[in-house]
Amino acid sequence: MFKIVKKRFLNDAKTICLFEIEAPLVAKHAQAGQFVIFRLDEQGERTPVSVAGWDREKGTVTVMVQNAGHSTAMLHTVEEGDYITDFVGPLGKATEMEGLKKVAVVGGGVGCAIAYPIAKEMHERGIEVDMIAGFRSKDFVILEDEMKAASTNLIMGTDDGSYARKAFTTELLKEQLEAGVKYDRVIAIGPGLMMKFLAEVTRPYGIPTIVSLNPIMVDGTGMCGCCRVMVGGETKFACVDGPDFDAHQVDFDLLIKRGAFYNDFEQEANKHICKMTGGTRSNG
């Protein structure tokens, strides 16, 4: 059993929640870019979530979870001092950072929760980091102070202009490139469509571009095949071959189609949670 030692909602919309969880073995080995799989109880589904931070001395791991489906909605109802049944990891490969001097780390929405620890690790290693963060609106902004501290420049935008610039992350990155800023690498994490279009922004410039993929996962060990993605015409398993992949090689259309596969089921499951919680849940 794994104890929740801290719980904090990160945005006004209360769609993204930070959990610090007692898991000494995971904390000992975790690196930026990796993920864990949690299960609330014996009957719970296995849900992957990226590692957002760790404290090796305290033996705790931080995750930031968007209320995006049945299991994540249930996790949002868990309180400090409660326990969850499984917290397995770290899984997947850590983000490669060797030899980098200047990078753009791009996060879209909850993707910033994954992008932030990568930016932080790079910044601490002395890599110059331009952090580009995009959100739907002011109510959905997360980690602004943390991202500012973890980067050389923080460039922010919202889709509706209710906070920072009214701009998508694709526009913000394009402006940097058109202004002549040179990056060794662009790392993008967010919705499939955002990553797809960001890959097209960097392609003409020939900038190596990495995306962190988070498809549906079950076992997280390369056995079930649920997390398969097409990269460069080959089938890869995000849980063991990734989650980082070359953005210019990923078949995003297939990724997005597979990601939507369980939407009807999730909506049905969430109706039951809304009944249980008095209909207060937001879909973020």
Residue 226 binds ligand FES, judged by CB under 6 A: yes
Residue 115 binds ligand FES, judged by CB under 6 A: no
Tell whether the torsion through CA atoms of 243, 69, 73 and 281 is positive or negative: positive
80 touches 56 (CB < 8 A): no
Residue 225 binds ligand FES, judged by CB under 6 A: yes
**Which one, of 21, 35, 22, lies nearest residue 242 by Cα?**
35
Distance separating alpha carbons of residues 44 and 131, to the nearest angstrom: 35
Shortest distance in whole angstroms from residue 222 CB to ligand FES: 5
* Stretch binding ligand FES (CB under 6 A), from 16-24, 160-168, 180-188, 217-225: 217-225
24 vs 222, which CB is nearer to ligand FES?
222
In sequence order, the 6+-apart residues with CB closer than 8 A to the CB of 141 are 11, 135, 156, 158, 163
Number of residues that bind ligand FES (CB under 6 A): 12
Side chain identity at residue 133, one-letter code: A
Shortest distance in whole angstroms from residue 205 CB to ligand FES: 32
40 vs 213, which CB is nearer to ligand FES?
213
Residue 91 binds ligand FES, judged by CB under 6 A: no
- Of residues 69, 92, 190, 220, which one binds ligand FES by CB under 6 A? 220
Residue 224 binds ligand FES, judged by CB under 6 A: yes
Shortest distance in whole angstroms from residue 240 CB to ligand FES: 6
* Stretch binding ligand FES (CB under 6 A), from 59-67, 82-90, 112-120, 220-228: 220-228
Shortest distance in whole angstroms from residue 241 CB to ligand FES: 9
Rg, the chain, Cα only: 18
x/- string (CB under 6 A) for ligand FES, residues 231-250? ------x-x-----------
Shortest distance in whole angstroms from residue 258 CB to ligand FES: 12
* Stretch binding ligand FES (CB under 6 A), from 13-21, 81-89, 211-219, 247-255: 211-219
Kindly list the residues in this chain that would bind ligand FES in the complex (CB under 6 A): 217-220, 222-227, 237, 239
